[in-house]
């Protein structure tokens, strides 16, 4: 079980790098869906099969693996864009920053005052690295949709970290969290559609009229 778990977590990191380096939106969204699918397996592998983990895995798979990617695909189909051009920071620099952040996450989590059972666990470093990836994506991309993707990766990082604490999060609350994420993404995609219709592009560079 544990080897499979660690393997999956390392795969999450690889997907992070792929997301930072990829310029095609379709493959970015597919990767996010794949990452979401992997995350939904984590509760089962980490805490065994029980009603709680099965339900959580099911809801996470439905929302992170299927519903949210579907909404994103629909959004890019509506606005006819396929390729993310001209990121604010180039792909290679973002990848280098991502590598540094990931290495930093591993070093940093080695120094955290974790309880003994968690000191060898990959949840903390992978969670932190995914958070950093999401943050990097948020600040380095200018399209509205890639910013939304960054937010989703960020949320994935929190989900991974939360795996250490499933007993603290009751099911109802956990599903509420995931549902809020879904509705948030839904509203974001509607807004993207409107932004695109109004400006004929989804670049958030146009969203700079409001300032002092």
Partner 1 sequence: MENNLLALLLLLPFCGSVLAFSLPSDRLRPLLLPLCATPHLALTFLVIQSGRPLTTANGWIGVDPLSRLILPVISLLFLGCSFYAVGYLRCRIAWGNRNFVGCLLLFLSAMTLATISRHLGLLWVAVETTTVASAPLIYYNRNRLSMEATWKYLLLGSVGIALAMLGILFIAYAGLAGGEHVSLQLDDILHGAANYSRPWLRAGFVFLLVGFGLKVGFAPLHTWKPDAYGEAPGLVGALLAGGLTSVAFLALLRTLQIMDAASEAVMAREAFLAMGLLSIAFAAVFVVRQPDFKRMLAYSSVEHMGILAIGISVGGVATFGAMLHLINNALTKGVLFLAAANIHRRFGSKKVADARGAISLVPLSATLFLLGFLAITGSPPFAPFISEFTILQGVFSNGHFVTGGLFLFFLAVIFIGMGSTVLSVVFGTPPEKTGTGYENYRDTFATTGVPLIMLLIIFVLGVYLPDPVRHICADAAALLEVRP
Chain contacts with partner 1 (rule: CB under 8 A): 112-115, 131, 138, 144, 147-148, 151, 154-155, 158, 161-162, 164-165, 167-170, 173-174, 176-177, 180, 183-184, 187-188, 191, 194-195, 198-199, 204, 206-210, 212
Smallest separation, CB 169 to partner 1 (Å): 6
Of the pair 1, 165, the CB lying nearest partner 1 is at 165
The minimum distance between CB 92 and partner 1, in angstroms, equals: 25
- Minimum Å gap between C-beta 7 and partner 1 is 24
Q: Is 80 left (phi over 0), alpha (psi -120 to 50) or beta?
A: left
Nearer to partner 1, 3 or 165 (CB): 165
**Exposure string for 138-160, b = 16+ CB within 10 A, e = fewer:** bebbbbbbbbbbbbbbbbbbebb
Spatial CB neighbours of 181, under 8 Å, sequence gap ≥ 6: 63, 64, 68, 152, 155
Task: Find the shortest distance in angstroms from Cβ 16 to partner 1.
Answer: 17
State the Cα–Cα distance between residues 106 and 93, nearest whole angstrom.
20
Residue 17 or 161: the one with the smaller Cβ distance to partner 1 is 161
**Which residue, 66 or 182, has its beta carbon nearer to partner 1?**
182
Cβ closest to partner 1, residue 92 vs residue 110: 110
CB of 164 to partner 1, least distance (A): 7
Cα 122 to Cα 124: distance, rounded to the nearest angstrom: 6
Return the axis-axis angle of helices 171-199 and 144-162, rounded to nearest 10°. Answer: 170
Q: What is the dihedral of CA 129, 51, 63, 106, to 10 degrees?
A: 0
């Amino acid at each position: 079980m544990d080897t499979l778990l660690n393997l999956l977590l390392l795969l999450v990191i690889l997907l992070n790098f792929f997301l930072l380096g990829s310029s095609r939106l379709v493959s970015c969204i597919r990767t996010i869906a794949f990452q979401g699918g992997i995350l939904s397996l984590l509760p089962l592998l980490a805490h065994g099969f029980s009603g709680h983990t099965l339900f959580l895995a099911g809801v996470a798979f439905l929302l992170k693996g299927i519903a949210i990617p579907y909404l994103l695909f629909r959004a890019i189909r509506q606005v006819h864009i396929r390729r993310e051009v001209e990121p604010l920071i180039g792909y290679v620099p973002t990848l280098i920053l991502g590598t540094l952040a990931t290495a930093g996450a591993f070093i940093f989590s080695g120094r955290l005052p974790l309880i003994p059972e968690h000191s060898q666990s990959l949840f903390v470093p992978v969670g932190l690295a995914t958070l950093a990836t999401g943050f990097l994506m948020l600040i380095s991309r200018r399209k509205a949709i890639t910013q939304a993707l960054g937010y989703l990766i960020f949320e994935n990082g929190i989900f991974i970290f939360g795996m250490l604490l499933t007993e603290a999060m009751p099911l109802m609350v956990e599903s509420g969290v995931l549902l809020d994420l879904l509705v948030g993404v839904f509203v974001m995609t509607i807004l993207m559609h409107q932004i695109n219709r109004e400006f004929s592009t989804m670049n958030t560079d146009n969203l700079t009229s409001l300032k002092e």
